[in-house]
A and B are shown apart, each in its own frame.
Chain A
Amino acid sequence: MSDQLVKVRGLKIEGRSDETWNQIVNGVDLDLNRGEVLGLIGESGAGKSTIGLAAMGFTRDGCRISGGSVEFDGIDLVNASAAQKRALLGKRIAYVAQSAAASFNPAHKIIDQHTEAPVQHRVDNKSSSEKDAMELYRKLRLPNPDEIGFRYPHQVSGGQLQRAMTAMAMSCRPDLIIFDEPTTALDVTTQIEVLASIRDIVEQFNTAAIYITHDLAVVAQMADKIKVLLKGDEVEEADTRTMLTNPTEDYTKSLWAVRSFLRDQKPAPAKDAVPVISVENVDGAYGPVQVLWDVSFDIHEGRTVAVVGESGSGKSTTARCITGLLPPIGGKMKLDGQDLPLDYRRRSKDQLRQIQMIYQMADTALNPRKSIGEIIGRPVEFYMGLRGSSKRKRVDELLEQIELDPKVYYNRLPSELSGGQKQRIGIARALAAEPKFIICDEVTSALDQLVAEGILKLLARLQDELKLSYMFITHDLATVRAIADEVVVMKDGRVVEAGPKDEMFSPPHHAYTDLLLSSVPEMDPDWLTNLLQERGTDNIGDAALEKMGGQ
């Protein structure tokens, strides 16, 4: 048995679009030994997932392996028959997908899905593989390991589900597991426990892994060596420490430098200044279920207030209350010192114009059947009453403001733009209304780090030029550090802590703020190990949150 598990040579993959085959991976080599963890990083479209899947001998629909070889433990996977692959996949090679919630079949219990592979591959019988599942759940530190498997996927939290999926991948004790962005959809506090448990279990069973992610700090904790990809080409590969301290290529250096964007906090507003938006003791509810309690904060002209918290903390609900889509059941809101009707239907056209919104998913925020010109032109026409050539002129101006060439982009459809460009169009649409106040709902969380940095810089520049006020909803504390003037921390529908950025990022913190801050992965490869030693393995993620709830 040789030490080398995966050997990929000159891998080329083509994808089909517009009736032609375009090469999306241009000859990548990849070597992986037993028990080793390789991190694949790059922007979206770099081909990292495609390469990861190809290491299983698999391509997505509309893709094909057009050249090169993939060998798994001496077996040629490119030319293997379906039957040969069936014998390997699930048994010796396993896959953990990005969204466990979407990957589990909601109609079956978790443990039934867990035992399917061992029973199918005749590795084990049903009852003993159930026992094994419980053992794995215990190792992965899932709560109630003997019982949790008998729940349905929707009865389990996202982080727990992701760990259950890792357990499922382990069910046949594979030689290789491919993790495709397993923690990207999770909050920072839950991310830690998933990372810790993945790392433990990979070490315990001496499993090799390919870890695909775009988060450098995460990969620094997990991988033994890192391969950086750009547009289907390998940029460089080195072991983790060398790569972090001493990258050779310019592209890698630029990736490493992304987190350097930092804005100085603006001086506090005058005492008697009238806030652009003030939210006073707002209670919100979806039907009979109350989700917001007594939320209050002010946003002053030209300032950015970051609202942070985990999913379910009520950040987006607060935004919906301010826009009037979800009229609050208590409290009031003021725009420029004037009372603002709670329901958006009762607001005047001018009040609607003053509050604009930029959405997280630019894909769903732009009507796919309308051209860029129509999308940006509509608010110009609707609010400003401009038509014909004067409208066109204004749209051109807006496009220039967001650094896109009007001649090129005016007639394009959203589907012909990249993610970052779409987000810029979303910004332009908000600007077209000439508002005072813009709500940015996780605007950078769906973007790659380089692109996200560009968007943050653009927003900062626009704020300086147009005296805009932002309410910046995010769960990413690095973004907060970069752009915020004030921070509001939310948990379970309540404001836990609020204040200027500098104060918030320096101790002493509220316990929850402290937990959030310390859970953000850092680029130091020893960070996770140190953190676990400091906090203890049973004091992370859900467990830590529960403890706090008990206090």
Chain B
Amino acid sequence: MSVTLMIEILVAIAAFGMLGRSAAQTNWRDSSVGNILGFGVAALILVYLCYVYFYTQGQFMRWLIQGVVIAGVLGFLFKKLGEFVGTQGTRKLFRSMPVTASFGILVILTYAIVAIFAPWIAPYGEEQVFEGVFNTLPGGAAVGGDDRFPLGTDQLGRDLLSRLIYGARNTVGIAFVTTCLTFLLGATFGFLAAILGGWFDQIVSRIVDALMAIPQLIFALLLMTAATTIALNMAADGPVSILFGLVEISGRALVTIFMVIIIAVLDSTRVFRLSRAVGQNIVVMDYIEAAKLRGETLLYLVFREILPNAYAPLLAEFGLRFCFVFLTIAALSFLGIGIQPPLADWGTMVRDLSQFINFAAFVPLAAALPLMAAGAIALLTIAVNFVVDWMLHRSSGLKE
């Protein structure tokens, strides 16, 4: 597109806006030229996308557009369903919900169901290896794949669909546990720092500052390298018993537990900062003073008086933090020190299949192999963010 054409289009939009401003009697009149320009550009992009979809050959772009449209429709249908099914409260919730949020909830629910029922949904086991079917293309026999493996196989001959499904369980499950631990640590210390103040606040805050000063991923890498060595040494002579001999676990699982703890501690610094700030605003309220004067214990103050008033920001932060933890785990696994093979994990899957991206120009379907796992990560991240955005909006709107 030439520069002159673009300028002409911009001028046309601006002229259109001016015309509308002088003619209309609604909000349109009072909106700025920049706003109208934005609307015009958005309309242009829409037209361009239609053009790409119907008149060009780009397969991935078409999939993307189809995906967005289908997501929108699914979200809308789910919202409508929520408006008619459920209790009074949830119905009201769904009615005021944007389509993005209902789509996000739908995706999260789907992931949860897949993760919980993985052994029943997956056609094969996560570690099951098939002879002679390395790197099968997705899409079945019609496009050069194998009908037994609708999403293809990896370089060892394991079914990718099954591994994606089990990966939901491992990656999402571990991320969820880690995030919960993060919040338990961060919020408890944050609220205590807010109530107690003084030297307790000083000590904890400075420790947190020190932890936050080191780049998180590099620090996690460093600690994980050390933890892996320790774990493998501990488990050198067979399974280790933890929790006073109640449970026996292998060295591999021990690495995962260390990873959960390391990421939880590093990430809890952010939660600490947030809950301390939120807590400090609540602690000055008269009802906290009244509870103190009543002689209530510290735990009652934290969990019964402060926590209920901090739900909204904490819940929103939970969503965001979950995404970050999830991405950190995927990144660590991608680098080879996170979740250990042969456990299925999306980060590891992306790493193992990453070289197929190079074949995209010759065999587009081959490039889809690593993108499926990456897409699963991206989709969940986007879905969680949609829901979090909506909750943030709601909680800020509820403040009178």
Contacts and interface: CB of A to CB of B under 8 A. Distances in A.
Given A349-B295, A429-B290, 7 more contacts: A324-B293, A325-B293, A357-B289, A357-B293, A369-B309, A378-B294, A383-B294
Nearest to B306: A367
14 contacts: A82-B30, A344-B292, A347-B295, A355-B293, A356-B293, A357-B289, A357-B293, A359-B286, A365-B290, A366-B287, A367-B305, A369-B308, A370-B308, A382-B296
Interface string A199-226: 0000000000000000000000000000
Contact of A367 (B29, B287, B292, B311): B287
B64 to A, nearest CB: 35
Interface in A70-107: 79, 81-82
Contact of B96 (A19, A81, A383): A19
A383 B294 CA distance: 9
A367 B309 contact: yes
B292 A81 contact: no
Given A352-B293, A379-B294, A382-B294, A361 B286 contact: yes
Q: Of residues B25, B30, B285, B400, which shows the largest number of chain A Cβ atoms within 10 Å of its Cβ?
A: B285
Interface in A340-357: 344, 347, 349, 352, 355-357
Contacts of B25: 79
Nearest to A348: B295
Interface string B384-400: 00000000000000001
A33 to B, nearest CB: 31
B286 A352 contact: no
Contacts of A368: 309
B30 A81 contact: yes
Interface in B283-318: 285-287, 289-290, 292-296, 305, 308-309, 311
A364 interface: yes
Given A323-B293, A344-B292, A357-B290, A364 B96 contact: no
A361 B286 CA distance: 8
Given A79-B25, A82-B30, A366-B287, A352 B309 contact: no
B308 A352 contact: no
A415 B400 CA distance: 10
A325 B288 CA distance: 12
Interface residues of B, number: 20
Contacts of B311: 369
Contacts of B295: 344, 347, 349, 352, 382
Interface in B1-55: 25, 29-30
A355 B285 CA distance: 19
Contacts of A429: 290
Contacts of A369: 308-309, 311
A323 B293 CA distance: 7
A365 B286 contact: yes
Contacts of A382: 294-296
Contacts of A81: 29-30
A352 B294 contact: yes
Nearest to A349: B295
A415 B399 CA distance: 11
A51 to B, nearest CB: 20
Contact of A364 (B29, B286, B296, B400): B286
Chain B facing A: main interface SS: helix
Nearest to A352: B295
Interface of A: 19, 79, 81-82, 323-325, 344, 347, 349, 352, 355-357, 359, 361, 364-370, 378-379, 382-383, 415, 429, 433
A365 B287 contact: yes
B349 to A, nearest CB: 43
Contacts, number: 55
Contacts of A355: 293
Contacts of A366: 287
Contacts of B294: 352, 378-379, 382-383, 433
Contacts of B285: 364-365, 367
Nearest to B288: A367
Contacts of B293: 323-325, 344, 352, 355-357
A366 B311 CA distance: 17
A276 to B, nearest CB: 17
Contacts of A370: 308
A355 B308 CA distance: 27
A81 B28 CA distance: 10
B133 to A, nearest CB: 56
Interface in B250-294: 285-287, 289-290, 292-294
A356 B287 CA distance: 12
Contacts of B286: 359, 361, 364-365
B287 A364 contact: yes
A24 to B, nearest CB: 15
A364 B287 CA distance: 6
Nearest to B287: A367
Given A352-B294, A352-B295, A325 B308 contact: no
Q: Of residues B29, B285, B294, which shows the largest number of chain A Cβ atoms within 10 Å of its Cβ?
A: B294
A433 B295 CA distance: 12
A429 B290 CA distance: 10
A348 to B, nearest CB: 9
A439 to B, nearest CB: 10
A274 B285 CA distance: 34
Contacts of A433: 294
Contacts of A325: 289, 292-293
Interface in B335-355: none
A156 B305 CA distance: 37
A379 B293 CA distance: 11
Contacts of B290: 357, 359, 365, 429
Contacts of A323: 293
A62 to B, nearest CB: 10
A505 B311 CA distance: 51
Interface in B86-101: 95-96
B258 to A, nearest CB: 37
Contacts of B296: 382
A371 B383 CA distance: 34
A425 to B, nearest CB: 11
